[in-house]
């Protein structure tokens, strides 16, 4: 019973729609009605600006981190990665936002921040490296997921490998429309790293 409660709490934590809350508080808008229509951090940056977008990213990361810490906080024998996965599912399919959420990147990172802080730090570095090279947030997110999967293989932690592969598969799947736009050369690139305005 307690284990089921923990997974429900982790899911509900992940379901908190950070982008929707910050959008309403900062700009008085529903970001689902702007940009890509997604509740994730990328659309928050595009729609709300850097300051509000950064708050959304931080909140989405912390959802995953806190969810992964729940077993320790509640003294329940559940692996932190499994609790974190429940939060990621909540982020993608939030009960508080009609089951239409973000693309799993930031919250997945938050889970790894709890379980493998060094891996999380390298993910940030790798993400910005790919972003500098490609100028695509979506492609950088996918490549970072693939990097994380390869990294996990060297840890010999089988559950970490399985969870990271699972989360990366979700990230790729959630970016399938972005992949198509990249192939069609219609996916928008960031401008701030290239010096363009």
DSSP for 27-86, please give it. Answer: TS--GGGSTT---SHHHHHHHH-HHHHHHHHHHHHHHHHHHHHHHHHHT----HHHHHHH
- Does 192 reside within a domain? no
* Residue range 106-135: mean pLDDT, rounded: 95
* Residue range 168-179: mean pLDDT, rounded: 91
- Does 196 reside within a domain? no
Q: What pLDDT score was predicted for residue 194?
A: 56
Q: What pLDDT score was predicted for residue 14?
A: 96
| Domains identified in the chain, total number | 1
Q: pLDDT over 90 for what percent of the chain?
A: 68
- Does 84 reside within a domain? yes
- Does 194 reside within a domain? no
Q: What pLDDT score was predicted for residue 193?
A: 63
Q: What pLDDT score was predicted for residue 195?
A: 52
- Does 64 reside within a domain? yes
- Does 195 reside within a domain? no
Q: What pLDDT score was predicted for residue 192?
A: 64
Q: Which domain holds residue 134?
A: 2-184
DSSP state, residue 195: T
Q: What pLDDT score was predicted for residue 197?
A: 46
Residue found under tokens 């390298």? 122
Q: What pLDDT score was predicted for residue 85?
A: 97
**Interval 93-119: pLDDT, tens:** 999 988 988 888 999 999 999 999 999
Tell me the pLDDT band of 190, cut-offs 50, 70 and 90.
confident
Which region, left, alpha or beta, applies to residue 168 given φ > 0 means left and ψ of -120 to 50 means alpha? alpha
**Interval 21-70: pLDDT, tens:** 998 998 888 888 887 778 887 788 878 888 888 899 999 999 999 999 99
Lowest mean pLDDT among 9-13, 48-52, 131-135, 161-165: 48-52
- Does 193 reside within a domain? no
The phi, psi pair for 105, rounded to 5°, reads: -70, -60
- Does 189 reside within a domain? no
């Amino acid at each position: 019973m307690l284990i089921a409660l923990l997974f429900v709490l982790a899911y509900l934590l992940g379901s908190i729609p950070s982008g929707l809350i910050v959008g309403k508080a900062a700009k008085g808008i529903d970001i689902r009605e702007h940009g890509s229509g997604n509740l994730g951090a990328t659309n928050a940056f595009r729609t709300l600006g850097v300051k509000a977008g950064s708050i959304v990213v931080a909140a989405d990361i912390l959802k995953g981190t806190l969810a992964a810490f729940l077993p320790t906080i509640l003294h329940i024998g559940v692996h932190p990665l499994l609790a974190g996965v429940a939060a990621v599912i909540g982020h993608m399919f939030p009960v508080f936002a009609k089951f239409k959420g973000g693309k799993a990147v930031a919250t997945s990172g938050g889970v790894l921040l709890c379980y493998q802080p060094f891996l999380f730090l390298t993910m940030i570095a790798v993400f910005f490296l790919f972003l500098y090279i490609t100028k695509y947030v979506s492609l950088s997110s996918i490549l970072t997921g693939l990097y994380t999967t390869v990294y996990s293989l060297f840890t010999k932690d089988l559950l970490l490998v399985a969870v990271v592969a699972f989360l990366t598969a979700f990230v790729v799947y959630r970016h399938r429309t972005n992949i198509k736009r990249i192939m069609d050369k219609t996916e928008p690139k960031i401008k701030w790293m290239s010096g363009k305005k």
